[in-house]
Amino acid sequence: QVQLVESGGGLVQAGDSLRLSCKASGPSLSRYSVGWFRQAPGKEREFVAAISRSGGNTGYADSVKGRFAISRDSTRNTWFLQMNSLHPDDTAVYYCAAKSQILTAPLPMADHEYNVWGQGTQVTVFS
Protein backbone atom coordinates (compact mmCIF):
# COMPACT_ATOMS: atom_id res chain seq x y z
CA GLN A 1 0.00 0.00 0.00
CA VAL A 2 1.41 3.37 -1.05
CA GLN A 3 1.42 6.09 1.58
CA LEU A 4 2.09 9.81 1.19
CA VAL A 5 3.28 12.28 3.79
CA GLU A 6 3.36 16.01 3.09
CA SER A 7 5.56 18.53 4.85
CA GLY A 8 6.88 22.04 4.42
CA GLY A 9 3.78 24.11 5.05
CA GLY A 10 3.85 27.16 7.25
CA LEU A 11 2.98 30.80 7.85
CA VAL A 12 4.59 33.21 5.40
CA GLN A 13 4.22 36.75 4.21
CA ALA A 14 2.90 37.66 0.78
CA GLY A 15 5.71 37.50 -1.76
CA ASP A 16 7.60 34.79 0.09
CA SER A 17 8.33 31.27 -1.10
CA LEU A 18 7.74 27.81 0.31
CA ARG A 19 8.66 24.34 -0.86
CA LEU A 20 6.29 21.52 -0.03
CA SER A 21 7.46 17.93 0.02
CA CYS A 22 5.53 14.71 -0.52
CA LYS A 23 7.38 11.65 0.70
CA ALA A 24 6.07 8.36 -0.65
CA SER A 25 6.51 4.84 0.65
CA GLY A 26 5.33 1.53 -0.69
CA PRO A 27 5.72 -0.71 -3.72
CA SER A 28 6.12 0.22 -7.38
CA LEU A 29 6.39 3.98 -6.85
CA SER A 30 7.79 4.44 -10.34
CA ARG A 31 4.32 3.70 -11.72
CA TYR A 32 2.72 6.70 -10.06
CA SER A 33 1.86 10.14 -11.36
CA VAL A 34 1.56 12.69 -8.57
CA GLY A 35 -0.57 15.75 -8.18
CA TRP A 36 -0.93 18.59 -5.72
CA PHE A 37 -4.32 19.91 -4.69
CA ARG A 38 -5.45 22.50 -2.21
CA GLN A 39 -8.55 23.31 -0.23
CA ALA A 40 -9.25 26.69 1.30
CA PRO A 41 -11.82 27.14 4.08
CA GLY A 42 -15.33 27.02 2.71
CA LYS A 43 -14.16 26.09 -0.78
CA GLU A 44 -13.93 22.90 -2.78
CA ARG A 45 -10.64 21.14 -3.27
CA GLU A 46 -8.90 22.34 -6.42
CA PHE A 47 -6.13 21.13 -8.66
CA VAL A 48 -2.77 22.87 -8.39
CA ALA A 49 -0.16 20.88 -10.31
CA ALA A 50 0.70 17.38 -11.51
CA ILE A 51 3.68 15.48 -12.85
CA SER A 52 3.59 12.29 -14.86
CA ARG A 53 5.15 9.04 -13.74
CA SER A 54 7.99 9.58 -16.20
CA GLY A 55 8.55 13.13 -14.99
CA GLY A 56 8.39 14.33 -18.55
CA ASN A 57 4.98 15.94 -18.42
CA THR A 58 3.67 18.56 -16.01
CA GLY A 59 0.47 20.54 -15.72
CA TYR A 60 -0.61 23.56 -13.68
CA ALA A 61 -3.73 25.42 -12.72
CA ASP A 62 -3.92 28.82 -14.39
CA SER A 63 -3.85 30.51 -11.00
CA VAL A 64 -0.34 29.18 -10.22
CA LYS A 65 1.33 29.08 -13.65
CA GLY A 66 4.63 30.89 -13.60
CA ARG A 67 4.73 30.91 -9.77
CA PHE A 68 4.64 27.23 -8.77
CA ALA A 69 6.77 24.35 -10.01
CA ILE A 70 6.31 20.63 -9.44
CA SER A 71 9.28 18.29 -9.47
CA ARG A 72 10.47 14.98 -8.11
CA ASP A 73 13.52 13.25 -6.75
CA SER A 74 13.12 9.62 -7.70
CA THR A 75 16.10 8.54 -5.61
CA ARG A 76 14.32 9.79 -2.49
CA ASN A 77 10.75 8.88 -3.53
CA THR A 78 9.85 12.48 -2.92
CA TRP A 79 7.89 15.01 -4.93
CA PHE A 80 8.05 18.75 -4.43
CA LEU A 81 5.93 21.82 -5.00
CA GLN A 82 8.01 24.99 -5.15
CA MET A 83 5.74 27.95 -4.50
CA ASN A 84 7.03 31.44 -5.26
CA SER A 85 5.43 34.87 -5.07
CA LEU A 86 2.83 33.61 -2.64
CA HIS A 87 -0.23 35.71 -1.95
CA PRO A 88 -3.09 35.40 0.52
CA ASP A 89 -5.30 33.61 -2.04
CA ASP A 90 -2.85 30.70 -1.87
CA THR A 91 -3.83 30.05 1.74
CA ALA A 92 -5.14 26.48 1.98
CA VAL A 93 -4.42 22.96 3.09
CA TYR A 94 -2.24 21.41 0.40
CA TYR A 95 -2.50 17.71 -0.40
CA CYS A 96 -0.42 15.48 -2.57
CA ALA A 97 -2.05 12.56 -4.33
CA ALA A 98 -0.84 9.64 -6.41
CA LYS A 99 -2.25 7.53 -9.21
CA SER A 100 -0.78 4.40 -10.72
CA GLN A 101 -0.76 4.70 -14.50
CA ILE A 102 0.58 3.20 -17.68
CA LEU A 103 3.21 5.33 -19.41
CA THR A 104 0.88 6.52 -22.18
CA ALA A 105 -1.97 7.64 -19.92
CA PRO A 106 -2.85 11.34 -19.88
CA LEU A 107 -1.76 13.47 -16.97
CA PRO A 108 -4.44 13.27 -14.26
CA MET A 109 -5.65 16.72 -13.23
CA ALA A 110 -8.89 15.96 -11.40
CA ASP A 111 -9.09 14.84 -7.81
CA HIS A 112 -11.40 11.90 -8.59
CA GLU A 113 -8.64 10.40 -10.74
CA TYR A 114 -6.35 9.89 -7.74
CA ASN A 115 -6.69 7.05 -5.29
CA VAL A 116 -3.90 7.72 -2.80
CA TRP A 117 -3.86 10.86 -0.67
CA GLY A 118 -1.68 12.40 1.98
CA GLN A 119 -2.94 14.03 5.15
CA GLY A 120 -2.28 17.59 4.00
CA THR A 121 -0.10 20.47 5.12
CA GLN A 122 -1.33 23.96 5.98
CA VAL A 123 -0.06 26.97 4.06
CA THR A 124 -1.06 30.39 5.35
CA VAL A 125 -0.05 33.57 3.55
CA PHE A 126 -0.61 36.93 5.25
CA SER A 127 -0.41 40.35 3.66
Q: Which of 68, 66, 60, 74 is nearest to 8 (CA)?
A: 68
Confidence band for 80, pLDDT divided at 50, 70 and 90: very high
Q: Which of 17, 5, 9, 36 is nearest to 121 (CA)?
A: 9
HSE-up of 18 (CA within 13 Å, CB side)? 21
Give the pLDDT of residue 23: 98
Confidence band for 97, pLDDT divided at 50, 70 and 90: very high
Tens-digit pLDDT profile for residues 35-65: 999 999 999 999 999 999 999 999 999 999 9
DSSP state of 110: S
